[in-house]
Amino acid sequence: LPAAVLLKDTKLMDVKLGQLPSWLAMRDFTPGGIAGAFRRGYERYYNKYINVKKGGLGGISMVLAGYVVLSYIWSYSHI
């Protein structure tokens, strides 16, 4: 059972393919859990690329690139 506790705290990149179903079963798929995951992802992105002492164009260019890709998908949905 201690391995299951360690598996729950394991990052997705560190999960082996055979452990993936049990790792996914331990995730919180409630609306609050999904919102918390988005919030944590946003905070990681913000602190890594936006909230820095010596900023650059990396963070903002990623947001703009994401917007371009989404608008392309929405405009050309027939493809």
Confidence of residue 2 (pLDDT cuts 50, 70, 90): low
Report yes or no on 12 lying in a domain.
yes
Residue 1 lies in a domain: no
* Residue 2 lies inside a defined structural domain of this protein: no
Structural domain range at position 68: 7-76
Record the pTM.
Answer: 0.56
Q: What is the pLDDT of residues 3-47, one digit of tens each?
A: 555 677 788 888 889 888 888 888 889 999 999 999 999 999 888
28 Cβ contact list (under 8 Å, min separation 6): 34, 36, 37
Specify the number of domains making up the chain: 1
